[in-house]
Amino acid sequence: MAWGAGLLVPVLTALVLVCRVAARRDRIAIAVPAAGVAIGLASTIAFALLLAGVGARMSFVALDAAAWIGLAAAALSVRRRGGPVAPDSASESGWMSAGALALLAATAFAAIVSFVASSGVFPHGEWDAWAQWNLRARFFFLGAADGTWRNAFVPVLAWSHADYPLLVPMSVARLWQYHGSETVLAPIVFGGVMAAATAAAAGLAVARTRGPARGCLAAAVILACPSFVRYSAAQCADIALGFYVLAAFVLWSRAGAGAAPRSRDCLALAGMAAALAGWTKNEGLAAFVIVVALMAIERVRSSGWGGLGDLVPVLAGAAPVLVAVVVFKTALAPPSYFTAEQSLGQAVERLMDLDRMRLVGAALRREVWLTGATIVGVLPFLAVFAAVRGVDPAAPAAARAAVPAMLILLGVYAVAYLVTPKDLAWQLRTSLDRLAIHVLPTLAWAILTVSR
């Protein structure tokens, strides 16, 4: 399982960095988001090597490993910034923590069984995996040596959404390069790692703020969502997108404010996480804009216009990933069907269609209520929890901003459905349950963090 080294190298580098820059009590809450960011960053390095024409497997692995060794050395050279920080986790009774842990264990067991069973039945994933993500991963892996990987973007494959960014297919192709051949285990494990990281990141971050019982509840809520578990095994990019949106907010919440080096480090990682959402799917580009815009608004409200200086490390962290997105969009990606298959006038006409509005509104309400469940999903549970507990005005600004951010993102999705040139009923039926899990992890973390 040489492909495992492909995952281990960036994760270890991230852990080295976290140990150098994070306060001791914050390390466990930051480690998982930082490791996920490193895994995503690895796909941009692999993309750069592919563009540079590094086709021989041993050359690719050697250069990739050298890049991560260099990053690890740079992390070790950073002056240690950890130190005592004020604790902010709540005290809880022993029975409450034990009950929450039992709930998490039961939910995690059911999710793991479902994941393993689904992966056994569908080892190549569902439609989106083998028709998009793993399809392009095979082009990148098999065509790296002779340059035929560019055939992944020929017009005849326009049906496979060749305009979608490359984090997932590049990650899978990179693991195959480390392994030396294709193996279905690589995309299966990648999907499982991103799903586990999502639940762990939310749970550990909530535990850091609200105590271990609430943290177990946060992770259990995510794992209890049928759509989340299904698409983890389906090897779709939506789980990774949800993770990077969550990671951006969690890292922002641990950064605090001001010019302290520790704050700048977390803000840079938050910016990189938000940009990686845009490197995962087109929808992630909207999430990146929303996250940065709300960061800017929060800093102006709390510190005046001078607070915008905190965005410098955010944008610096995002920059290398955004470069990869721009290069991909300008040099390789075909136009999106939103622009290629309709005129501006047709899009505006669809946007103003009342029947389409009613159809989209009804579908959104249903999905928010169910999120893959049969009777009631986890989002209504979170809403009731917040209503009963009330909002803590001292909750981190990032957590307070996350709920409106996810509502805005759902609004962006609603507009996209309104203007789509595809059959609207078909597109809602085949994609809305996946889009809902983009916002679920962040909502679970935010609501359980801001609630008293």
Q: What is the pLDDT of residue 275?
A: 98
Which residues have a Cβ under 8 Å from the Cβ of 386 and sit 6 or more positions away? 447, 450, 451
Q: What is the pLDDT of residue 90?
A: 62
Q: How far is it, in rounded angstroms, from Cα 86 to Cα 173?
A: 43
- Do 134 and 235 contact (CB within 8 A), yes or no? yes
Residue at 242: amino acid letter: G
Q: What is the pLDDT of residue 24?
A: 79
- Do 442 and 270 contact (CB within 8 A), yes or no? no
- Do 173 and 137 contact (CB within 8 A), yes or no? yes
pLDDT tens for each residue of the chain, 452 residues long? 678 899 999 999 999 999 888 877 788 899 999 999 999 999 999 999 999 999 899 999 999 999 999 999 998 888 776 554 445 656 565 667 889 999 999 999 999 999 999 999 999 999 999 999 999 999 999 999 999 999 999 999 988 999 999 999 999 999 999 999 999 999 999 999 999 999 999 999 999 999 999 999 999 999 999 999 999 999 999 999 999 999 999 999 998 644 556 688 999 999 999 999 999 999 999 999 999 999 999 999 998 998 899 999 999 999 999 999 999 999 999 999 999 999 999 999 999 999 999 999 999 999 999 998 999 999 999 999 999 999 999 899 999 999 999 999 999 999 999 999 999 999 999 999 999 999 999 999 999 999 99
The crossing angle, in degrees rounded to 10, of helices 397-419 and 344-351 is: 110
Q: What is the pLDDT of residue 237?
A: 97
Residue at 323: amino acid letter: V
Q: Across-strand partners of 55?
A: none
Of the candidates 205, 208, 286, 306, the one whose C-alpha atom is nearest the C-alpha of residue 241 is 286
Q: What is the pLDDT of residue 86?
A: 44
Q: How far is it, in rounded angstroms, from Cα 50 to Cα 57?
A: 11
Count other Cβ atoms within 10 Å, centred on residue 47.
23
- Do 54 and 144 contact (CB within 8 A), yes or no? yes
H/E segment holding residue 2? none
Phi, psi of 164 (to 5 degrees): -75, 140
Q: How far is it, in rounded angstroms, from Cα 12 to Cα 436?
A: 31
CA angle 295-201-299, nearest 5°? 10
Q: What is the pLDDT of residue 84?
A: 46
Q: How far is it, in rounded angstroms, from Cα 240 to Cα 232?
A: 9
Q: How far is it, in rounded angstroms, from Cα 44 to Cα 32?
A: 19
Sole residue written with tokens 């790296």: 144
Which residues have a Cβ under 8 Å from the Cβ of 87 and sit 6 or more positions away? 25
